[in-house]
Amino acid sequence: MEGMSYARTPRVKIRELKDDYAKFELRDTDASIANALRRVMIAEVPTIAIDLVEIEVNSSVLNDEFIAHRLGLIPLTSERAMAMRFSRDCDACDGDGQCEFCSVEFHLRAKCISDQTLDVTSKDLYSPDHTVVPVDFSDPSGEESSEQRGIIIVKLRRGQELRLRAIARKGIGKDHAKWSPAATVTFMYEPDIHINEDLMETLTLEEKRTWVESSPTRVFDIDANTHQVLVVDPEAYTYDDEVIKKAEAMGKPGLVEISAKQDSFIFTVESTGAIKASQLVLNAIEILKQKLDAVRLSEDTVEADDQFGELGAHMRGG
Specify the 3-state DSSP secondary structure of 82.
helix
Q: Does 297 bind other proteins (CB under 8 A)?
A: yes
x/- mask, other proteins, residues 4-23, rule CB under 8 A, reads xxxxxxxxxxx--x------
Q: Which of 20, 21, 23, 33 binds other proteins (CB under 8 A)?
A: 33
**Using CB under 5 A, which of 90, 133, 188, 285 touches Zn ion?**
90
Q: Does 52 bind Zn ion (CB under 5 A)?
A: no
Decide: residue 33, CB within 10 A, 0-12 exposed, 13-18 middle, 19+ buried: middle
Q: Does residue 93 interact with Zn ion by CB under 5 A? A: yes
Question: Toward Zn ion, which CB reaches closer, 101 or 137?
Answer: 101
Listed residue (310, 304, 286) closest to 37, CA to CA: 286
Does residue 86 interact with Zn ion by CB under 5 A? no
The 256-285 site mask, x for binding other proteins (CB under 8 A), equals ----------------------x--xx--x
Percent of residues in the chain assigned helix, strand, coil, to nearest 5: 30, 30, 40
> Counting contacts by CB under 8 A, is residue 307 touching other proteins?
no
Reference 198, options 250, 255, 246; nearest CA is 255
Q: Is there a contact between 42 and 180 (Cβ–Cβ < 8 Å)?
A: yes
CA distance 316 to 49: 58
Of residues 1 and 205, the one with the C-beta less far from other proteins:
1
Element (H, E) at 316: helix 299-317
92 binds Zn ion (CB under 5 A): yes
User: What's the Rg (C-alpha) of the chain?
Assistant: 28
Work out whether 99 is an interface residue with Zn ion (CB under 5 A).
yes
Residues that bind other proteins (CB under 8 A): 1, 4-14, 17, 24, 29-30, 32-33, 35-36, 39-40, 44, 88, 172, 174-176, 278, 281-282, 285-286, 288-289, 291-298, 301-302, 305, 308
